[in-house]
Structure 1
Amino acid sequence: MIRYRRDIDGLRALAILPVLLFHAHVPGFSGGYVGVDIFFVISGYLITGIIAREVDEGRFSLARFYERRFRRIMPALALMILIVLAAAMWLYLPGDLEGVPRSALAATLFASNLWFFTDTGYFSGGADVKPLLHTWSLAVEEQYYIGFPILLMLMARFAPHWRKGAVAGIAAGSLALAILLQRDTSGFTFYLLPTRAWELFTGALLALGAVPAIRPRWAREMLAWAGALAIALAVACYDRTTIFPGITALAPVLGAAALIHAAPGTSMGRVLALPPLVGVGLISYSLYLWHWPLIVFTEYATDAPLAGATRIMVVAAALIAAILSWRFVERPFRDARRVPAGMVFRFTGVAMALLCIASLSLIAMGGWPSRFAPPVLAQMAGQRDFAPTRKQCHDTYMRGAAPCVLGAAMRPDAMLWGDSHGVELAYALSLQAKAQGQALVERTTSSCPPVLGYDTKDARCAAANRAALAAIRADPGLRRIYLAAFWANGEFDDPAFIAKLDRTIAALRALGRDVVLIGPVPPQPFDVPRRLAHLARAGAVTDAQGVKRAWVDARTVHLRALFSRWQAQGVRLIDPVAALCDARSCAIERDAKPLYFDSHHLSVAGAKWVVAHGG
């Protein structure tokens, strides 16, 4: 029997606090997202221990198991989803509201990981407008617990001696798949059960006794502190650029497993059992539920990331909401004397039905645009002002999609080679080309700048760029090559990267091609159509102002230093900074139209303006 362990509640605190502080942008917690992986290990350990014990004793019941899951999960979750829907209806602009009821429906049905996996791309809205994004991890757990109890029941009946081996084998297969697909950019590895199950199975293997007990006190001390150190290093050293999950997830997962296995009776076990950590651990589920919507809605309302006093207030509000949720929702429903099993199932059925009806009703309303005046809607329409050719012509997931020919129905004499920043520019250039009876090839791949040898994020970038150069070499008719990328993202203004770009330009010129470099687009610290819609709502669109010109110049200093040399060599420059910025700041709208469809991709209106005024 698994007895209550205060140190595991303390470990829950080590899971939820990094998640909270990471989402609140607190320095030093850039890898705080690994807290979710720690939760998976804890859940696998505790729930497997209960199931295995009851299966071995011949008293396991699926109905009783799901009653406990519903009792634990549904009341606080249903309340949170209901309040999120109400808050989004009041706060969100139409284009941002549309996704909320869809995610609410998915969260209610424990399928939000599947929804967010499919709801990826440039037009689905970022995490900053998805107040239910965090429910993906609950969906992973519940999907896991659909099949896992049945597996243990079958193993107990037909192959009891193979139980540990079978679980270990499935865990190894899941881990291998996660490592194999760790560079996948579609979201499969992050969101879906097959590549996350091994984390739950790690805890399950501990509960099943697959790992021998460690007798020497010194060994348990060392292992427990090593586990805490592994978690701390992941929290402090990982960041948004870390390839995760995959092999990097081993540190927090094995660290959590080490603490579960070795901490009792050690100094680290006593640290984890301290009352403040235990207290946070007790409210960790509610804190996980409430912290993310509070952060998302605050950042949406203020149009800025959490910082300073706002950050402190939101973190405090999340803790207060979690305490209230735990005290008045979680605890009463977990008391079988106050809420019997029949009531739990009735409540779950009614709550899920009502949430589904509410979500479907909001979906049918399509963002409820009648709440806003036409000027607000006109600015929000900028979120959809992307190239009509983007979906079929842009290789979003580096899968080798065929390039498109745009413009007149004739053999192309130019190519735009670039990443996602090139799509709308290619479309704007193709309109010019069509008017002149010419055509253009668009060859764009997400996150892959047109730089030979670039493979920092994914080796497929290098392959895509080699293929682009081969296509240019094979077609002498492609006389003019446009190069476009997110040059101002901070990563690319590195001398080593610029040297590779320089060699790429030299390689194209050696082939006798005219090179046109489309310079950096000034990124904005906010979603441009949303900011303009907020200003329109307040009747203050004339106050619209973008990022400072000096900031853009500083972010691209190494790149811009070579412009004169390249131009002296015959390279033509189209400069978005010159087109969009004056001496002080950069524009975000022209003629009452947003120049971006998000924070850094030019809209069609913006691309047309840059092509016409940038060089």
Structure 2
Amino acid sequence: MASSGTPVASSAARTRSERRPEIEGLRGLAAVLVVLYHVWVGRVSGGVDVFFLLSGFFVLGMVARRAMRGERVDLGATWTRLFWRLVPTAGLVLLASTVAAAVLLPPSTWVRNLRELVASGLFLENWRLATDAVDYYADHGTASVAQHFWSLSIQAQFYLAAPLLVLLVAWWARSRGVDVRSALLVALSAVTVVSFVHSVHATATDQAFAYFDTRTRLWEFALGGLLALVLERVRLGYRARAWLGWAGVVGLVTCGAVLDVGAAFPGYLALWPVLSAVAVIVAGRAGAGERLLASPTAQYLGSISYPLYLWHWPVLVVALVLMGTATPGLVGGVVVVALSVALAVATHHLVEEPLRRVTLPRPVGLASLTVAASLLPAMLGLGVWAAVVAADRGTPVAIGDQDHPGAAVLVAGQDSTGDPAAPVRPSTARVQDDWADYRDACAPVPDHPVLEQCVPISPEGEPQRRITVVGDSHMQQLLPALEPIARERGWQVSTLVRARCPFSLASETDPEDATCVDWNAAAVEHLALDPPDAVVVSATRDVRAGLTEQTPDGFVAGWRELDELGIPVVAVRDNPRFDHRPSECFETYGRGAAPCEIPRAELLAPDPPYALRDDVPSNVAFLDLSNELCTPATCPPEIGNVLVYLDDNHLSASYSRTMSTAVGTQLPALLGW
């Protein structure tokens, strides 16, 4: 990561102006570990945590010392200098990554890459990934070219907040006659403790979010600031410092190899790499600091550590896609590392070094514009690419479209008279956004604020029938299939849908989380107040290879609750789930390719699990759409020139719409309407 601030002393025996070569070497070691672990190991190395500690050490230390001396700190100038070290190189890598993603990566990845590249350009990538619940440990070949910008985003957010915090504490201390140094020690200690406790708790409850959460990482920056404030008072002999330095290096190198931190990082395990780095800094030039980290090789790696970190990830992601593999192997990995180092060297000498000799213009506002302008080419490139992708929305699939009949081609005796080789809809670039989106028709339920009810389909006058769809996002994706018959017959369709919460009186997706149970209990209470003419829910879940489909007891218990309310239930057999994205498989191999045509017998048993139960209440009728999703032999990714799935388990809204004939025929018959 980028170096920041002016080197500071490591002990009382060193003057503040003395250079710290071991820290430059530590930065280089951390960057190398990140690259090697990403390319070959696929585990967390702890290198990024070292970057965070060093940023706190330099930035908080620099601003704090000025504040303690009573010097005026120009916030605008401080921010400009800090970001001048980050932004130009980041802008160059973002621009190159944009071009590489648009030219070399498949269209199915474009929307994801666009979103994350824009978030990275705004230094908000960590929150983008946290919101999307991205698995950092997943296959690197499926990640965006900008995913690694999450750490740079946190660092940029720290750069904005750190000087403000120091100046605020210094102002408060002086206004009350308190020693500024003491006040800063207390404030940074409080940030360290609160952030660390939050990190441990958040990692235990939601690790995917916690990994990218700025708040779970603040303690690492704050600890670096504390180290900068107390380091010159540390008195250790040479031998003790030598042992400490070597222990720190060994601890950092072995962190990722010893700890399998896939489900427990950052949390308390982040102490390992952070304290290893603290040990190296406290040791100074003794031991490893002199013999290893101060070596010319380590010093040079430190000087290129920032561009090396930025370049290695897009090079790796693009290489994995081009090779069609999840891991690069020995030879492929060597090529990835060599190209990353070459790009880092070129960037360091042709971009970073010349820019460091540039004197930013005055006033600060003009300097800030100069910094922002260095990001402009990347953002313009993203804008052009976004416009191209947005223009690829295509014409929505309409019922009766002969070129895109979808499920209609599976109906016995019905042939498509259109072009069997017509381009699929939606395109592979847009399919992941093909949701049944009715958010404009949603509002909280007054009698149960925990609920949100949507009314996406409603006739102008009094509805002939009222149907409520209850369950998870799979039920939401069935709405396009239900819409034509509802509009034709004047039905009102409302939804009580919550992601990952099928209608059940048990916690089906997470046994330790009662959120879905509470949601469904509230849904039953709401339905009891004004019972609809029918409720549509899921009949099964977990339709995967290996015949894992089941009808859980919680489903049946929910149906009994509705039976007691006198509400008819239509339970819909769930669609298959895959260990890959069918649309991406189609994009890679084309129509009818064997790797994408999953045998139906591996996913769906002839007799659904609910047919084997003898405790199903009499109010339930079952809707099985398996023949609209699969041929007699396979469950393909594309049927009738329409992509069936938008990801690995959700029907695309376009394909769902083509099932409307089947739903319109079967649903009224099941309800006797």
Bin the TM-score by the shorter chain: 0.7 to 0.9
What's the CA shift string for 1:317-350, capped at 9, x where partnerless?
334433443454334544x4xx455699596454
Q: Which of 492, 505, 517 is 2:556 aligned to?
A: 505
Correspondence for 2:157: 143
Q: Any residues of structure 2 matched to 1:401-550 within 5 Å, and which?
A: 401-405=451-455, 407=457, 409=459, 410=463, 415-435=468-488, 438-451=491-504, 452-454=506-508, 455-456=510-511, 458-471=513-526, 477=532, 480-483=535-538, 487-488=542-543, 501-509=552-560, 512=563, 514=569, 516-523=571-578, 525-526=580-581, 528=583, 532=586, 541=591, 543=593, 546=596, 548-549=598-599
Q: Which of 604, 607, 611 is 2:656 aligned to?
A: 607
Correspondence for 1:201: 222
**Distance change (3 Å), C-alpha of 1:167 and 1:428:** same
SS in 1 for 2:495: strand
Distance 1:413 1:211 in 2: 74
**Distance change (3 Å), C-alpha of 1:272 and 1:412:** farther
Q: Which of 127, 138, 145 is 1:131 aligned to?
A: 145
Confirm or deny: 8 A CA contact 1:595 1:603 kept in the other structure: yes
* One-letter code aligned to 1:165: V
User: Is 129-138 or 353-362 further displaced after alignment?
Assistant: 353-362
TM-score by length of 1: 0.73
Correspondence for 2:423: 375
Correspondence for 1:46: 58
What's the CA shift string for 1:4-52, capped at 9, x where partnerless?
556545654665456546655x55x4445x6434421221123333333
User: Is 443-452 or 160-169 further displaced after alignment?
Assistant: 443-452
The structure that has the greater radius of gyration is 2
Offset of 1:423 from its aligned partner?
1.4
Confirm or deny: 8 A CA contact 1:181 1:189 kept in the other structure: yes
What's the CA shift string for 1:168-222, capped at 9, x where partnerless?
2344444566567668989986656455433311221221228984859789759
**Distance change (3 Å), C-alpha of 1:356 and 1:52:** same
**Distance change (3 Å), C-alpha of 1:430 and 1:312:** farther
* One-letter code aligned to 2:437: P
**Distance change (3 Å), C-alpha of 1:458 and 1:183:** farther
TM-score by length of 2: 0.68
Offset of 1:596 from its aligned partner?
1.3
Offset of 1:363 from its aligned partner?
4.7
Q: Which of 283, 305, 308 is 1:287 aligned to?
A: 308
How many pairs align?
586
Distance 1:432 1:514 in 2: 17
User: Is 386-395 or 160-169 further displaced after alignment?
Assistant: 386-395
Distance 2:383 2:166 in 1: 37
Distance 1:131 1:70 in 2: 22
Correspondence for 2:344: 322
**Distance change (3 Å), C-alpha of 1:582 and 1:238:** farther
Correspondence for 2:403: none
Correspondence for 2:92: 79
Q: Which of 141, 146, 168 is 2:189 aligned to?
A: 168
* One-letter code aligned to 2:352: E
Distance 1:35 1:486 in 2: 41
Distance 1:225 1:411 in 2: 74
Confirm or deny: 8 A CA contact 2:126 2:150 kept in the other structure: yes
**Distance change (3 Å), C-alpha of 1:377 and 1:37:** farther
Q: Any residues of structure 2 matched to 1:114-129 within 5 Å, and which?
A: 128=142
Distance 2:273 2:546 in 1: 30
Offset of 1:424 from its aligned partner?
0.6
Structure 2: give runs of 5+ residues left out of the alignment.
1-7, 10-17, 135-139, 395-420, 667-673
* One-letter code aligned to 2:85: R
Confirm or deny: 8 A CA contact 2:422 2:641 kept in the other structure: no
CA RMSD of the aligned region, Å? 5.3
SS in 2 for 1:208: helix
SS in 1 for 2:496: strand
What's the CA shift string for 1:35-80, capped at 9, x where partnerless?
4344212211233333334554566764774565345323422221
Correspondence for 2:4: none
Offset of 1:353 from its aligned partner?
4.2
Structure 1: give runs of 5+ residues left out of the alignment.
none
SS in 1 for 2:148: helix
What's the CA shift string for 1:411-438, capped at 9, x where partnerless?
8665544332221124424544555555
**Distance change (3 Å), C-alpha of 1:104 and 1:31:** closer
SS in 2 for 1:73: helix
**Distance change (3 Å), C-alpha of 1:209 and 1:573:** farther
* One-letter code aligned to 1:330: E
Offset of 1:608 from its aligned partner?
4.8
* One-letter code aligned to 1:163: L
Correspondence for 1:352: 375
Confirm or deny: 8 A CA contact 1:387 1:423 kept in the other structure: yes
Q: Which of 251, 274, 282 is 1:228 aligned to?
A: 251
Confirm or deny: 8 A CA contact 1:430 1:439 kept in the other structure: no
**Structure richer in helix, relative to its length:** 1
SS in 2 for 1:516: strand
What's the CA shift string for 1:333-383, capped at 9, x where partnerless?
44x4xx455699596454234444444455555546599x99378524534
* One-letter code aligned to 2:478: L
Distance 1:6 1:316 in 2: 25
User: Is 559-568 or 377-386 further displaced after alignment?
Assistant: 559-568
Offset of 1:468 from its aligned partner?
3.5
SS in 2 for 1:597: coil
SS in 1 for 2:251: helix
**Distance change (3 Å), C-alpha of 1:322 and 1:252:** farther
**Distance change (3 Å), C-alpha of 1:524 and 1:170:** closer
Offset of 1:164 from its aligned partner?
1.0
**Distance change (3 Å), C-alpha of 1:573 and 1:248:** farther
Confirm or deny: 8 A CA contact 2:503 2:538 kept in the other structure: yes
